[in-house]
Amino acid sequence: MEKENKKGMGNDFLALLSQKTLVIDGAMGTMLQQYGLKAGEAPEMWNITQPDIVKSIHTSYLEAGADIILTNTFGANGIKLQKLGFRERLLELNEQAVKLARKAADEYREVHQQPIFIAGSIGPSGEILGPCGLVKDEEAYAGYEEQVKVLASSGIDFILLETFYDLNEIGIALKAVKEICDLPVFASMTFDDSLKTIYGISPEKAVKVLFQEGADGVGANCGSGPETLYKVIAQMRVLTDAPLLVKPNAGIPYIDNNRIIYPATPQEMAEYTEKFIQLRVNIIGGCCGTTPEHIRAIAGKVKKSV
Ligand SMILES: [Zn+2]
């Protein structure tokens, strides 16, 4: 099978990563909620209906100091879109997401003359896979295959598989990436306070299996705040010198007056950033509840450390 052409800067990206810590952006979904995205509404649809807002969020993360921005494609895999009833829009949603990220990156680069990288975000199907689940492994593969093809041919620098709980499912997505393109790929799972995923996967197991299956980097994102993910990443770092990524939530959310509040302040994220740098984490950013202010605090520490 002929692989998708690499239009991005995948090799530059891995080379730079071996020299310095890079900052990846913060949340997209919870930022869109601030702009009025409703519960149950697909954030990816805003690539079409509210492109200026999506692009302005990318820009605000770049201005805060992010070196990497993630496409608004977390839920735009075949299985998830099919469930929402618009699988036929997979191409359009993913293509448009890359276009918006590239536009924001190009505009920023023009003024600031520094390398900016675009990561294609791929999240889980939201279904239970395998013999007990409703979705078969082959169907999940096809769903990821379709998304990876579009992302890889639209011009991204690497792929981030993120927020996976199931080692089997992230392995399927990873296989699709490896078979379809030559882009670097990071594989990140979601651990809770038990330091395991809800499928019982330990950091140790994730590191062993995901590197074996060809990931260029492994990581932990979402699910918990920086304190827990620090413990997860520390366990990973003992086992490998290869690239690691961390994107904690802004703490564990609680509800106040019908509003979801993420308690971790930018200052707290900055304190943990120092600890992540000591663990030689290669990519540091934020997940749910983080804002450009959190990323500014993280970037401040990262840039001071080089
Ligand atoms: Zn998250």
One-letter identity of residue 251: G
Say how many Å lie between the CA of residue 177 and the centre of ligand 1. 22
Task: Retrieve residue 114's tokens.
Answer: 């520094």
Q: pLDDT exceeding 70 applies to what percent of the chain?
A: 97
Say how many Å lie between the CA of residue 287 and the centre of ligand 1. 4
Q: Which residues pair with 119 in a beta bridge?
A: 70, 158
The rounded distance, in Å, linking the Cα atoms of 207 and 217 is 9
* 89 against 258, higher pLDDT: 89
Q: Specify the 3-state DSSP secondary structure of 215.
A: coil
What pLDDT does 2 receive?
57
CA-wise closest residue to 248 among 260, 238, 265: 265
The rounded distance, in Å, linking the Cα atoms of 61 and 78 is 28
Say how many Å lie between the CA of residue 285 and the centre of ligand 1. 11
Say how many Å lie between the CA of residue 163 and the centre of ligand 1. 7
**7 falls in which pLDDT band (50, 70, 90)?**
very low
Q: Tell me what the mean pLDDT of segment 86-108 comes to.
A: 97
Look up the CATH architecture of domain 10-305: Alpha-Beta Barrel (3.20)
Q: Tell me what the mean pLDDT of segment 251-275 comes to.
A: 94
Say how many Å lie between the CA of residue 222 and the centre of ligand 1. 4
Helices 167-180/137-154 angle, 10° precision: 40
Say how many Å lie between the CA of residue 57 and the centre of ligand 1. 16
Q: Residue 1 above 60 pLDDT?
A: no
Say how many Å lie between the CA of residue 132 and the centre of ligand 1. 26
Look over the chain and give the mean of its residue pLDDT values, rounded to a whole number: 95
**40 falls in which pLDDT band (50, 70, 90)?**
confident
Dihedrals phi, psi of 262, to nearest 5 degrees:
-100, 115
Q: pLDDT exceeding 90 applies to what percent of the chain?
A: 91
Digit-coded pLDDT (tens) for 53-71: 999 999 999 999 999 999 9
CA-wise closest residue to 39 among 258, 247, 250, 264: 258
Q: Residue 8 above 70 pLDDT?
A: no
Say how many Å lie between the CA of residue 107 and the centre of ligand 1. 27
Instruction: Give me the numbers of helices (H) and strands (E) for the chain, helices first please.
Output: 12, 10
Say how many Å lie between the CA of residue 110 and the centre of ligand 1. 30
The rounded distance, in Å, linking the Cα atoms of 188 and 247 is 9
Digit-coded pLDDT (tens) for 128-163: 998 888 899 999 999 999 999 999 999 999 999 999
The rounded distance, in Å, linking the Cα atoms of 31 and 29 is 5
Say how many Å lie between the CA of residue 288 and the centre of ligand 1. 4
Say how many Å lie between the CA of residue 1 and the centre of ligand 1. 34
Instruction: Please give the model's pTM, rounded to 2 decimal places.
Output: 0.96
Task: Retrieve residue 1's tokens.
Answer: 């099978």
Beta 117-122 vs 158-164: how paired, if at all? parallel
The rounded distance, in Å, linking the Cα atoms of 40 and 33 is 11
What pLDDT does 172 receive?
98
Using CA atoms in the order 61, 96, 243, 167, what is the torsion angle rounded to 10 degrees?
Answer: 120
DSSP 247-275: E--SS--EEETTEEE----HHHHHHHHHH
What pLDDT does 3 receive?
67
What pLDDT does 6 receive?
47
The rounded distance, in Å, linking the Cα atoms of 298 and 66 is 9
Parse the chain into domains and list their residue ranges. 10-305
CA-wise closest residue to 127 among 82, 96, 62, 183: 82
What pLDDT does 258 receive?
84
Q: Tell me what the mean pLDDT of segment 90-94 comes to.
A: 98
Say how many Å lie between the CA of residue 199 and the centre of ligand 1. 17
Beta 254-256 vs 259-261: how paired, if at all? antiparallel
What pLDDT does 152 receive?
98
Say how many Å lie between the CA of residue 221 and the centre of ligand 1. 7
Digit-coded pLDDT (tens) for 269-296: 999 999 999 999 999 999 999 999 999 9
Q: Is the dihedral of CA 208, 157, 295, 255 positive or negative?
A: negative
